[in-house]
A and B are shown apart, each in its own frame.
Chain A
């Protein structure tokens, strides 16, 4: 079955950029966008062992009379076919349940804080919660639409990085775009990381689709991130540690996303890589 990407449409110029990004992603890997035009600022997503209430900021409800038309025009331009989601179930009045069986979901960096407040350095708490609980990877877009022409995987050797690698390989296979890998060496040497990939039985796939694997031993992560192509889609895994740890030490996801303005595809801890 064709994979589906879930997109919440915001009827503002920023929302237009986000939708353009989603549509570009869909066209690149051949998936089908499912667009939700919110009717209230809140909705619930029931995941396997979690329920998340997403509180959208008020700009999502801008000019409800034109939003469907705007979305359709953008979809038509992209030449894709899109489906539009009408919620079937409501937990309470004005509180629809949004299904969670999608293959991807697109979020701007924040969906609950006012969009004017966000520059680069912050992923909103709701987006973070979705990443933590979802079985699908989340596409976090850059503020302005930018086509990506290559894929860069951040590989840190953990179980989740392997999931990100699987995801990156899949995107590379489906989009036919060049694939690179970025590793900031923290322990051992390049061989340790190669072995981790080989142990997961992914080395042959990497050799088939991957182009370049950059290792950085010196310098801080932020310095080295300049080496990442400006038009690359970043694929990374998010590790599911607690909020306190994030605030105290800052997660690597946070450091990467606050440095690089690129589009990110984040595989959360619950993401299960689909074989094939």
Chain B
């Protein structure tokens, strides 16, 4: 055994893995930070390279080619499905202790670089999250860490990546806790915070400490704060439109019988065509956001609204048709334009009121859309605070984030990332009923102390078995091939129990129930429970390959369920 691959066995870490996790978190944070910087640099250079051709008439080909290449890369070279990957990370965290393929640590970086660099409307954040978490997971695998530690490292990867790409450590930490892990526990927070800080530090060393969207200080009056509520409602509405159009587009495109790369190319071409009229919608759009915040976006309300609508369309075409990338950056873009348009509309309606500059509303709009789409208000608040470098807008920010995420929850109960998982019943957050049931295997609950009987057995022969048994259920098996035939319940026998003359006259075959509902040993516990509830039974026989394996009962289940919950939730 190679000792270096089992750090959990080193004397230093043997009794408490917190120190181990902290050390690993630093490593993961550095790697995730580097991955984020790599994508960022690659994007900058690709955009710079293609910038000279943007004004040419055939420029709309570029997003098409980029999307097609990225789709081909994902499908043929690394053989991974499309999509931005965040649901995959959440799925693996909830079901498989955060096991993620090694290839995921680079595949999305390259494909999203192709999509976004060529002008597709998508964000680089989700790919970076996928990469960072895959790096964390594979480092955990290399060092043979267990599921709990691996999940923490996956979180570390996410936090480091988000921290690095936005230069926002707290946002990285909060996003990880709120969206990826869904759990706030002391064991996790410390390594994740350290990874977020490490990732951010890596990015600051390599790129300098830049605040992404710097701005002047805003003077916020009471009237502005009241107006925030209206903005929040608008944000919620736009979030829902964005979510629906993305999902609707994917559903419609999935029906088309065309090669995947061709679909991606068609989507890309449409985005390119939009881009000819409105170049602002292309790419991740951070420059345009910056303009919106500093008040340099001069065009009027109508243009702003058109840009807003077209960005939604472009994003839906890029992602829905098979391009690769996330929705983080488009959400920020859309949010800033919602804010902008809202402020201009307000000024139109009440020109005498001294509203705060449109930049402030753009910030608030960004927070509103992020918290609406992700249904993660804290992520929205902290991200905006950090990327804009000030706490001066915290009061309206909190209001917008809270109202927007609440309003979205009314209409869409699950957020964009989680919707698929929730639909399939695969969202298993720690400490929840679904998680506990998914963790316990049927094999752990089997009660095997039932005494099998044969259908030809006389009642008289059955009495001594009844005396010995602790249970009131007896599986009936075919004497020759051991096949499960039915169940004899004590209640079925009770009427004849004290009628000695019947002891030789009645055989168990006459008393047994043959129409018995059974379950298989590989069934999911949640289905088994549903079956029990539907049949109003407290126990069911488990039958595999027509043979009786054991009984499963609610009494045992409750006992194990409770212990499982105690072990899962009180880990300190």
Q: A88 to B524: give the CA distance in the assembly, Å.
A: 10
Known: A49-B141, A92-B88. A42 touches B544 (CB 8 A): no
Considering the complex, which residues of chain A in the window 36-91 have a beta carbon less than 8 Å from any beta carbon of chain B? 41-42, 44, 46, 49-51, 53, 55, 81, 83, 88-91
Whether B79 contacts A53 by the Cβ 8 Å rule is: yes
Nearest CB of chain B from residue A138's CB, rounded to whole Å:
20
The stretch that binds B, out of A93-101, A103-111, A192-200, A201-209, is A93-101
Smallest CB-CB separation from B425: which chain A residue? A89
Residues of B within 8 A of A220 (CB): none
Whether A2 contacts B545 by the Cβ 8 Å rule is: yes
Nearest CB of chain B from residue A163's CB, rounded to whole Å:
15
Q: Is A238 an interface residue (CB 8 A)?
A: no
Q: Is B101 an interface residue (CB 8 A)?
A: yes
Whether B79 contacts A90 by the Cβ 8 Å rule is: no
Q: A83 to B543: give the CA distance in the assembly, Å.
A: 14
Considering the complex, which residues of chain B in the window 117-155 have a beta carbon less than 8 Å from any beta carbon of chain A? 141, 144
The stretch that binds A, out of B48-56, B90-98, B228-236, is B90-98
Known: A51-B100, A53-B103. A2 touches B81 (CB 8 A): no
Whether A1 contacts B99 by the Cβ 8 Å rule is: no
How many residue pairs link A and B with beta carbons under 8 A? The number is 53
Smallest CB-CB separation from A55: which chain B residue? B79
Whether B101 contacts A53 by the Cβ 8 Å rule is: yes
Residues of A within 8 A of B79 (CB): 41-42, 53, 55
Smallest CB-CB separation from A99: which chain B residue? B522
Residues of B within 8 A of A91 (CB): 88, 91-92
Q: Is A32 an interface residue (CB 8 A)?
A: yes
Nearest CB of chain A from residue B311's CB, rounded to whole Å:
25
Residues of B within 8 A of A55 (CB): 79
Nearest CB of chain A from residue B333's CB, rounded to whole Å:
26
Residues of A within 8 A of B95 (CB): 89
Known: A1-B544, A92-B81, A93-B81. A51 touches B521 (CB 8 A): no
Whether A46 contacts B96 by the Cβ 8 Å rule is: yes
> Binding site of B, secondary structure by majority: helix, strand, loop or mixed?
loop
Q: A32 to B522: give the CA distance in the assembly, Å.
A: 14
> Chain A, 97-136, contact with B by CB distance < 8 Å: what is the 0/1 string?
1010100000000000000000000000000000000000
Nearest CB of chain B from residue A128's CB, rounded to whole Å:
15
Residues of B within 8 A of A81 (CB): 545
Residues of A within 8 A of B141 (CB): 49-50
Q: Is B547 an interface residue (CB 8 A)?
A: yes
Residues of B within 8 A of A95 (CB): 80-81
Residues of B within 8 A of A89 (CB): 95, 424, 426
Residues of A within 8 A of B524 (CB): 88
Known: A92-B88, A95-B81. A46 touches B103 (CB 8 A): no
Residues of B within 8 A of A94 (CB): 81
Q: A248 to B254: give the CA distance in the assembly, Å.
A: 46
Known: A50-B141, A92-B81, A93-B81. A2 touches B544 (CB 8 A): yes
Whether A49 contacts B547 by the Cβ 8 Å rule is: no
Nearest CB of chain A from residue B105's CB, rounded to whole Å:
12
Residue among A32, A51, A99 with the highest chain B CB neighbour number at 10 A: A51
Q: A101 to B520: give the CA distance in the assembly, Å.
A: 14
Residues of B within 8 A of A2 (CB): 544-545, 547
> Chain B, 64-90, contact with A by CB distance < 8 Å: what is the 0/1 string?
000000000000000111010001100
How many A residues, CB 8 Å from partner?
Answer: 25
Q: Is B549 an interface residue (CB 8 A)?
A: yes
Q: A32 to B254: give the CA distance in the assembly, Å.
A: 37
> Chain B, 498-537, contact with A by CB distance < 8 Å: what is the 0/1 string?
0000000000000000000000011010000000000000
> Chain B, 459-502, contact with A by CB distance < 8 Å: what is the 0/1 string?
00000000000000000000000000000000000000000000
Known: A46-B99, A91-B88. A1 touches B81 (CB 8 A): no
Smallest CB-CB separation from B100: which chain A residue? A51
Considering the complex, which residues of chain B in the window 408-455 have a beta carbon less than 8 Å from any beta carbon of chain A? 424, 426
Known: A49-B144, A91-B92. A32 touches B424 (CB 8 A): no
Q: A32 to B545: give the CA distance in the assembly, Å.
A: 9
Nearest CB of chain A from residue B320's CB, rounded to whole Å:
13
Residue among A50, A81, A91, A97 with the highest chain B CB neighbour number at 10 A: A91
Whether A51 contacts B545 by the Cβ 8 Å rule is: no
Residues of A within 8 A of B254 (CB): 93
Smallest CB-CB separation from B549: which chain A residue? A1
Residues of A within 8 A of B544 (CB): 1-2
Q: A93 to B82: give the CA distance in the assembly, Å.
A: 8
Residues of B within 8 A of A88 (CB): 524
Smallest CB-CB separation from B550: which chain A residue? A1
Smallest CB-CB separation from A40: which chain B residue? B81
Residues of B within 8 A of A49 (CB): 99, 141, 144
Nearest CB of chain A from residue B453's CB, rounded to whole Å:
20
Please pick, from A1, A41, A83, A90, the residue contacting B424 in the complex, using a CB distance under 8 A: A90
Nearest CB of chain A from residue B79's CB, rounded to whole Å:
5
Whether A93 contacts B545 by the Cβ 8 Å rule is: no
Smallest CB-CB separation from A241: which chain B residue? B2
Smallest CB-CB separation from B142: which chain A residue? A49
Residues of B within 8 A of A46 (CB): 96, 99
Residues of B within 8 A of A101 (CB): 522
Residues of B within 8 A of A50 (CB): 99, 141
Q: A201 to B154: give the CA distance in the assembly, Å.
A: 43
Q: A50 to B102: give the CA distance in the assembly, Å.
A: 10
Nearest CB of chain A from residue B260's CB, rounded to whole Å:
10
Smallest CB-CB separation from A47: which chain B residue? B99
Q: A94 to B103: give the CA distance in the assembly, Å.
A: 17
Known: A2-B545, A51-B100, A53-B103. A92 touches B424 (CB 8 A): no
Whether A51 contacts B96 by the Cβ 8 Å rule is: yes
Residues of A within 8 A of B81 (CB): 92-95
Q: A83 to B521: give the CA distance in the assembly, Å.
A: 13
Residues of B within 8 A of A83 (CB): 545
Q: A101 to B521: give the CA distance in the assembly, Å.
A: 12
Smallest CB-CB separation from B143: which chain A residue? A49
Whether A93 contacts B103 by the Cβ 8 Å rule is: no
Q: A50 to B142: give the CA distance in the assembly, Å.
A: 9
Q: A92 to B87: give the CA distance in the assembly, Å.
A: 8
Whether A51 contacts B99 by the Cβ 8 Å rule is: yes
Residue among B81, B83, B91, B254 with the highest chain A CB neighbour number at 10 A: B81
Nearest CB of chain B from residue A239's CB, rounded to whole Å:
12
Smallest CB-CB separation from A95: which chain B residue? B81
Residues of B within 8 A of A51 (CB): 92, 96, 99-101
Nearest CB of chain A from residue B15's CB, rounded to whole Å:
22
Smallest CB-CB separation from B98: which chain A residue? A51
Q: A55 to B79: give the CA distance in the assembly, Å.
A: 8
Smallest CB-CB separation from A83: which chain B residue? B545
Q: A101 to B426: give the CA distance in the assembly, Å.
A: 20
Residues of A within 8 A of B547 (CB): 1-2
6 contacts between A and B (CB under 8 A): A42-B79, A46-B96, A50-B141, A51-B96, A53-B80, A94-B81
Contacts beyond the supplied A46-B99, A91-B91: 7 A-B pairs with Cβ under 8 Å? A1-B547, A41-B79, A49-B99, A50-B99, A53-B79, A93-B254, A95-B81
A-B pairs with the 4 shortest C-beta distances?
Answer: A51-B99, A92-B81, A46-B96, A55-B79
Residues of A at the B interface (CB closer than 8 Å) are: 1-2, 32, 41-42, 44, 46, 49-51, 53, 55, 81, 83, 88-95, 97, 99, 101
